[in-house]
Amino acid sequence: MSPLAQRLAALGVQAVYGAPLAGVPVADVADPEVAALLAEAHLLVHRSRCAVHEGGGGLRLLDRRSEPEEIVLDDADAPTAAPAGTERWVEPDAGDIDRIDAAVAPVVLVGPGLADPVLVPGLHALAAAGGLGVLNTWGAKGVFDWRSDHHLATVGLQARDLELGGAAGADLVVAAGLDLREVPAAGWNRAPVVTLAPGALGPAAEALRGHRRRPAMPPLRTELARVTQEGWANPGIPLAPSAVTRAYAAAVGAGGLVAADPGTPGYWVARTFPTASLGGAVVPARPDACGLAAACVAVARRVWPGRPALAVTTTVDDRTAAVIEAAARWGVAVPVERWSEDGPGLDADAHAGRLADLLASGVPAPVALATDPRQLDRMVEVAGDVVAWTSAMEGLR
């Protein structure tokens, strides 16, 4: 192992994307912008340090412990610092514990800072100890199985999510690991707020005085579930979007991945994909992230070539095409389904069969699918206008 490779290993860098670099294994990507997109996808999928090499010997290290961090490392320099491990034991403030204990109708709101297998047990312990319901943003989708009584709903997608999810009527919001691009503070900080570090949830669970309540299901979960299930039961063509996302879950299984670009498919995956495991669905918070879904599938399959994984988008733009081409040079196929009004209308069986073929063979060209736009009107009736990725959603209605 070269000295540079040893330094990168000491820094916790698990992958380098970009131009070839002597002595270091690099996922070859000629275009620096595409390399950066793949590195961003690596952070979303693998949640581990990676680097971009744009040529000339300099490396840009990316870290997603909280907000993505960029460090410039010159080949000749000694390493700066190894990545800090996830801190899973942070002592909570005693006053915060007293406020949680005293609350009559508290709700927990968590974001992508909790989407770490090391931290999820602490969240589960807190929910069980306090009998608490948990709202998660789409960046934390999967922290609870969708069938859990503690899972209230996924929020941040529509205007009334927090209101109907119970945050508006709560006398205390317990917040942890939030990304304000998914849930701006103005939507949830009207009630008193206790903000806990992600690693403080487990210790907080032990400090609570005991189970006091059973979480009640909010209207957001029950009403959205009703509209979602109406889509499952509708045999019409084109398929309802919730029937499509249900088919995705069945096709990729518990160990698979569905990644969606912001916009129509991103909304439906974030809203209705039935998560049974953490990391099974990836939808970025950044609105101008076209191509990132394909990049997520590429970096996932580069590590685990046989992993069932699907990218979903509305536009196969130059970045998406470049990602598919780069992955092909690594010997990795990137299955892509493009939602489009001019795509074929398939029934459920035909769609399931095509998904199976797509995931098994890795058809090199993206395939199109028409979905029924009318189901969105039913979702809007329940929870208000779509507010996620505002610039990316202009064509959704």
DSSP per position, 111-150: -GGG-STTTHHHHHHHHHHHT--EEEEGGGTTSS-TT-TT
Distance CA 346, CA 352 (A): 9
The sign of the dihedral angle between the CA atoms of 150, 153, 154, 160 is negative
Same domain, yes or no: 188 and 227? no
Instruction: List, for residues 16-50, the tens digit of each pLDDT value.
Output: 999 999 899 999 999 999 999 999 999 999 999 99
Q: Which CATH number is 335's domain given?
A: 3.40.50.970
Same domain, yes or no: 106 and 205? yes
Same domain, yes or no: 132 and 201? yes
Distance CA 220, CA 346 (A): 30
Distance CA 292, CA 40 (A): 8
Distance CA 300, CA 129 (A): 35
Same domain, yes or no: 355 and 235? yes
Q: Which residue, of 217, 245, 276, is where some domain finishes? A: 217
> Which residues, 6 or more positions from 381, have their beta carbon under 8 angstroms from its beta carbon?
none
Residue 229 lies in a domain: yes
Q: What is the total count of domains within the chain?
A: 3
Same domain, yes or no: 338 and 357? yes
The sign of the dihedral angle between the CA atoms of 375, 231, 278, 317 is negative
Token pair belonging to 117: 């297998």
Same domain, yes or no: 211 and 226? no
Q: Which residue, of 175, 196, 217, is where some domain finishes? A: 217
Residue 59 lies in a domain: yes
**Amino acid identity for residue 52 in this structure:** V
Distance CA 312, CA 296 (A): 11
Distance CA 88, CA 73 (A): 28
Distance CA 98, CA 174 (A): 12
Query: Could you give the angle at the alpha carbon of 287 between the alpha carbons of 226 and 50, nearest 5°?
Result: 110
> Which residues, 6 or more positions from 77, have their beta carbon under 8 angstroms from its beta carbon?
none
Residue 84 lies in a domain: no
Distance CA 252, CA 335 (A): 12
Same domain, yes or no: 243 and 209? no
Residue 82 lies in a domain: no
Q: Which residue, of 172, 201, 217, is where some domain finishes? A: 217
Same domain, yes or no: 238 and 211? no
Q: Give the domain extent around 321.
A: 222-393
pLDDT of residue 69: 47
Name which of 225, 300, 228 is nearest 258 in CA terms.
300
- Note whether 336 and 369 are within 8 A (CB): no
Distance CA 70, CA 375 (A): 41
Same domain, yes or no: 100 and 64? no
- Note whether 256 and 308 are within 8 A (CB): yes
Same domain, yes or no: 109 and 240? no
Distance CA 63, CA 155 (A): 25
Same domain, yes or no: 248 and 201? no
- Note whether 281 and 142 are within 8 A (CB): yes
pLDDT of residue 76: 46
Residue 79 lies in a domain: no
Same domain, yes or no: 272 and 182? no
Name which of 59, 66, 186 is nearest 114 in CA terms.
66
pLDDT tens-digit profile, the chain (397 residues) = 888 899 899 989 999 999 999 899 999 999 999 999 999 999 999 999 999 998 876 788 888 654 444 555 555 454 556 666 678 899 999 999 999 999 999 999 999 999 999 999 999 999 999 999 999 999 999 999 999 999 999 999 999 999 999 998 899 999 999 999 999 998 899 899 999 999 999 999 999 976 667 788 999 999 999 999 999 999 899 999 999 999 999 999 988 999 999 999 999 999 999 888 899 999 999 999 999 999 999 999 999 988 999 999 999 999 999 999 999 999 999 999 999 999 999 999 999 999 999 998 756 679 999 999 999 999 999 999 999 997 544 445 4
Q: Which CATH number is 198's domain given?
A: 3.40.50.1220
User: What residue spans of 171-291 are helical by DSSP H?
Assistant: 201-207, 219-233, 241-252, 264-272
Cis omega before residue 203 (within 30°)? no
- Note whether 86 and 116 are within 8 A (CB): yes
- Note whether 29 and 17 are within 8 A (CB): yes
- Note whether 123 and 143 are within 8 A (CB): yes
Altogether, the residues listed in the chain come to a count of 397
Name which of 254, 271, 266 is nearest 220 in CA terms.
271
